[in-house]
A and B are shown apart, each in its own frame.
Chain A
Amino acid sequence: MERYDIAIIGSGPSGLSAAINAKVRNKNIIIFGNSNLSRSLVLAPKVNNYLGFYGISGTELRDKFQKHIDDMNININTEKVNNIYAMGEYFAIMTANKTYEAKKVILALGIEHTKPIEGEDKLLGRGVGYCATCDAPLYRNKIVTILGYNKEAESEANYVSEMANKVYYIPMYKDEYELNDKVEIVKDKPLEIVGSGKVEKLVLKNTEISTDGVFILKDSAPPQQLVPGLEMEDGHIKVNRKMETNIEGCYAAGDCTGKPYQYMKAVGEGQVAALNAVEELSSILK
């Protein structure tokens, strides 16, 4: 398998800045993200604090970023990264269907604005999980509840329903739901996951569901779930001046490292992370 020099997770300003800086130094990189680059960038009506671009709109800035990476032949891989494992010498990066390997990783994840629900952290691994397909066989003949934040969660619910006795699906978005007959849709607001030692029930605004497992399926899992062993501080990834995390060879940049949530801070951090990763790579060769 090809082992990349640097894998960048995220295609917002910090991830792109890391990508162009690593590419300039001739590193073999892979960048994971979405074709839109960054959702929050597209949503910004006016940006007045990005030096050199007074009064630019978010979409215009996005287009400039896109042209920049196109000119440098950087292509975004749109597969969703589920997990990154620090194997010591390298990192194993798992998507739904494939595994990638990289010597260094730069996390440019942005920030998830939806808060965890009550009981989520306490019961994590004790019935609460972030990847239904990973743990589904453990719920044979049991009751599973899925909090779905996106369309992909529906197919996970269908898959789980083949094994579990009962599957409840709580949609956190409005759409048509493509679910099979075995999945029961519950349109209600989840408030708390309750259980002593392990998950027992989910409390919603208008009802309660007895359940053995609750899976919370968002666009991205919390950073410490994505990268097991990653150290956090006040809800952000802990980094030093070189943008190094507690895991050797793993860097972080942008909103995921903390406030202020700004484009210039993000691109600066992405650059610092990339340059340090490049330097580390060349010191390995010496």
Chain B
Amino acid sequence: MVKEINDVSFESEVGTQDKPVVVDFWAPWCGPCKMLGPVIDEISNELDEKVKFVKVNVDENPLAANKFKIASIPTVMIFKNGNPVDTLVGFRPKQSMVSEIEKHI
């Protein structure tokens, strides 16, 4: 399950977590985001126990997008203890996305 979060809930959903959090920054007008969405859904089902998955609509949540300098979407960021540890810009196939995420488990 990929939970939709926003500027207000960002801190509590991402900041205070024991397990790594994968944040998918997306927008409805972005083609590659639409392709990446189902890929992230699939991965979230497989890694559900070890990793938390959330998504942020950058159109509706400019604060989070600005704070993390999102200049291109989709951007996937990985957080640990509230700190960003990795930034993956652009679509990538499932296999490669999984191996990037697994580095942080």
Interfacial residues, chain A to chain B (CB-CB below 8 A): 83, 85-88, 92, 94, 124-127, 129, 134-135, 137-138, 197-199, 212-213, 225, 228-229, 247
Q: How far is the CA of A213 from the CA of B75 in the complex (A)?
A: 16
Interface size for B (C-beta < 8 A) is 25
Closest-by-CB residue of B relative to A139 is B71
B80-105: contact bitstring with A at CB < 8 Å (1 yes, 0 no)? Answer: 00000000011111111000000000
Chain B interface, >50% SS class: loop
CB distance from A83 to the nearest CB of B (A): 6
Does A228 lie within 8 Å of B69, measured CB to CB? Answer: no
Contact of A228 among B31, B65, B75, B91 (CB under 8 A): B91
Complex: A83 Cα to B39 Cα, angstroms: 16
Q: Are A85 and B32 in contact (CB under 8 A)?
A: yes
Are B90 and A125 in contact (CB-based, < 8 A)? yes
Evaluate contact between B91 and A135: CB separation under 8 angstroms: no
**Min CB distance, B100 to chain A, in Å?**
10
Q: Pick the residue among B29, B38, B92 that contacts A229 (CB under 8 A).
A: B92
Query: A137 with B29: in contact, given A92-B35, A126-B71, A213-B71 (CB under 8 Å)?
Result: yes
* Nearest CB of chain A from residue B57's CB, rounded to whole Å: 12
Shortest Cβ gap from B88 to chain A (Å): 9
Residue from A129, A138, A212 having most chain B Cβ neighbours under 10 A: A138
B73 touches A135 (CB 8 A): yes
| Residues in B whose Cβ lies below 8 Å from that of A87 | 35, 38-39, 93
